[in-house]
Amino acid sequence: MRSDSAMRIEPSEEILSAARKWLDQVRPALNADFVAAYLTGSVLTQGFDAKKSRLNVLVVSRSLEIGVLDTIAKALPAPLKGAPRIEPLFMTERNIEKSLDTFAIEWVDIQERHMLLEGEDFLGRLEIPQTYLRLQLEHELRGKHVQLRQAYLQHHSQPAELQRVLESSASGFAALFRALLRLHGEPVPANGAHVVERVADVFALDAEGLLGPHLVRYVGSSFGPAELVALYRKFLVELDRLIIAIDQLRTA
């Protein structure tokens, strides 16, 4: 799976300048071990607000031994008032290569939405087997299904609590649904609702039922108590059907 520049939005010059200024202070701590630095995550999407969100910067190194970590820690600049806040992730090449099986979803997401700031494009060389992605997706969805079912047993007569559970789970499911489309070789729509609807189409599910968390969190509609319980119940049913479909899915 390769990076698709059409999936990202070019950040502003202010953001790029802040990221490169931060990197100029940190890069010397890695010296010859430095491989690459990237912008990743929401900064490359529409609607990013530097006042509310942080700039995710991935720094790839050949080594991150404890002495190197000490040097990096001393070099990290203090946040400047009014400037975009940097959220760095330091990884070695080996860290990344050996975690492709356990963090396939995360690396696919980063690989498809990143911007090289400096160095060689290490991410562009990564090959993430679909088997890894399918296994992690099934693991994550099964775990979330158990949690949602337990919450329903505990709060089935408390619609406000069920609403909170759906709201808090929405962003996590959004990421998993995007990964599901990538696994299936489908283009990923920019609109969150369209992502859910496409997943429903691909796996022959009820889109209205699968949209529950998205509707509660993002649409902002006011749902009555009975409607919230109905949304929750429908989502549980469709999520169970989705897990069965993924379990039966065969990948290369």
SS3 76: coil
Instruction: Measure the CA–CA gap between 27 and 22, rounded to whole angstroms.
Output: 9
In the numeric block, the tokens 């959220």 are attached to 87
Task: Give pTM, 2 decimals.
Answer: 0.79
> What totals of helices (H) and strands (E) does the chain contain, helices first?
10, 4
The CA angle 155-160-166, to the nearest 5 degrees, is: 80
Boundary-marking domain end, from 100, 125, 150:
125
Length of the chain, please? Answer: 252
**pLDDT reported for residue 2:** 42
**pLDDT reported for residue 4:** 45
**pLDDT reported for residue 196:** 96
**pLDDT reported for residue 112:** 81
170 burial class (0-12, 13-18, 19+ CB within 10 angstroms)? middle
Domain that holds residue 118: 5-125
**pLDDT reported for residue 189:** 87
Instruction: Measure the CA–CA gap between 206 and 192, rounded to whole angstroms.
Output: 16
Query: Do 137 and 75 belong to one domain?
Result: no
**pLDDT reported for residue 252:** 60
Boundary-marking domain end, from 101, 125, 149:
125
**pLDDT reported for residue 6:** 42
Asked if the structure places residue 252 within a domain, the reply is no
Query: Do 82 and 135 belong to one domain?
Result: no
User: Residue 56 maps to which CATH number?
Assistant: 3.30.460.10
Instruction: Measure the CA–CA gap between 72 and 209, rounded to whole angstroms.
Output: 48
Of the candidates 113, 93, 109, 92, the one whose C-alpha atom is nearest the C-alpha of residue 39 is 113
Asked if the structure places residue 118 within a domain, the reply is yes
**pLDDT reported for residue 147:** 97
Is the torsion defined by CA of 236, 237, 238, 241 positive or negative? positive
**pLDDT reported for residue 83:** 73
**pLDDT reported for residue 7:** 53
Question: Quick one: angle between helices 159-183 and 225-247, nearest 10?
Answer: 30
Question: Which residue numbers in the chain have pLDDT < 50?
Answer: 1-6
**pLDDT reported for residue 9:** 73
